[in-house]
């Protein structure tokens, strides 16, 4: 997935979260006005999201109304896994043609299965049951695709043609 833009409460794109630059060496964010946002202390030892803020700088900032609606000032949150997420984002941007191709080829079946076939969640429990359910849903999807591409009549003709290759020979096919 591509990285989502971090908006602000004012809706001004010049002050979205991606406009704040992270300085890895100093472990700070630099706002579009050049002010430094420092890492806040956390109650937990290892928080999932790390907060950066500088309320003093926000109090006198000329662009405050464009940046935040908070009375205290602007805060930026950073995931503890943000370095890895940045690598993934850079790789996605470098290979955007492959990403778009993946969207067209891979994501279509899942969207169709989820929405059109009403299979957005599993009805069974347990790994073997879920595998069986998945196999049935994918089989149904594949049959639906084949029928849409070649038609029911041609599918039945092809099954009849190939019927001799399989063990099941007594099945009568109706055209």
Residue 148 lies inside a defined structural domain of this protein: yes
Region 104-125: mean pLDDT is: 87
Please give the residue that has the higher pLDDT: either 87 or 45: 87
The pLDDT mean for the chain works out to 86
Tokens of 97: 């043609």
Residue 154 is predicted with a pLDDT of 92
- Contact predicate 18/41, CB 8 Å: no
Same domain flag for 21 and 86: yes
What local confidence, expressed as pLDDT, does residue 102 receive? Answer: 85
Residue at which a domain ends, from 33, 68, 90: 90
For the chain, the domain total comes to 2
Average pLDDT, stretch 20-25? 92
Ranges 87-96, 103-112, 162-171: which has the least confidence: 162-171
Locus of tokens 């503890």 = 80
Residues 84 and 33 in one domain: yes
Residue 3's pLDDT is 65
Other C-beta atoms closer than 10 Å to the C-beta of 57 total: 18
The structure's pTM equals 0.57
In a domain, 56, yes or no: yes
Element spanning 28, H or E: strand 28-30
- The pLDDT of residue 58: 92
Classify residue 114 by its DSSP letter: I
Q: Is 110 a domain residue?
A: no
Each residue's pLDDT tens digit, 52-69 = 999 999 998 999 999 999
Beta bridge partners of 76: 52
Residue 145 falls within a domain, yes or no?
yes
Q: Would 36 be classed as within a structural domain? A: yes
3-class SS of residue 125:
coil
Across 3-13, average pLDDT: 76
Confidence of residue 166 (pLDDT cuts 50, 70, 90): low
Token pair belonging to 40: 């806040």
Domain match, 35 and 83 both: yes
Q: Is residue 175 part of a domain?
A: no
Pair 144, 85 in one domain: no
Domain region containing 30: 13-90
Is residue 156, in this structure, part of any structural domain at all? yes
Share of the chain above pLDDT 90, in %: 48
Q: Let me know whether 84 and 128 are in one domain.
A: no
Note the Cα 101 to chain centre separation in Å.
15
Phi/psi of residue 107, each to 5°?
Answer: -75, -25
Question: Do the beta carbons of residue 29 and residue 18 sit within 8 Å?
Answer: no
């Amino acid at each position: 997935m591509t990285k989502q833009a971090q908006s602000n409460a004012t809706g001004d794109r010049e002050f979205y979260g991606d406009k704040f630059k992270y300085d890895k060496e100093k472990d700070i964010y630099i706002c579009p006005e050049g002010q430094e946002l420092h890492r806040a202390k956390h109650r937990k030892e290892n928080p999932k999201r790390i907060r950066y803020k500088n309320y003093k700088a926000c109090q006198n900032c000329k662009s405050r109304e464009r940046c935040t609606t908070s009375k205290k000032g602007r805060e930026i949150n950073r995931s503890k896994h943000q370095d890895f997420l940045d690598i993934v984002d850079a790789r996605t941007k470098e290979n955007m043609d492959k990403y778009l191709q993946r969207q067209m080829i891979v994501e279509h079946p899942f969207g169709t299965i989820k929405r059109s076939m009403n299979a957005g969640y599993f009805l069974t429990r347990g790994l073997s049951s879920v595998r069986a359910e998945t196999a049935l849903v994918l089989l149904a999807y594949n049959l639906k695709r084949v029928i849409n591409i070649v038609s029911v009549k041609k599918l039945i003709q092809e099954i009849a043609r190939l019927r001799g290759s399989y063990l099941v020979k007594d099945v009568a096919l109706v055209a």
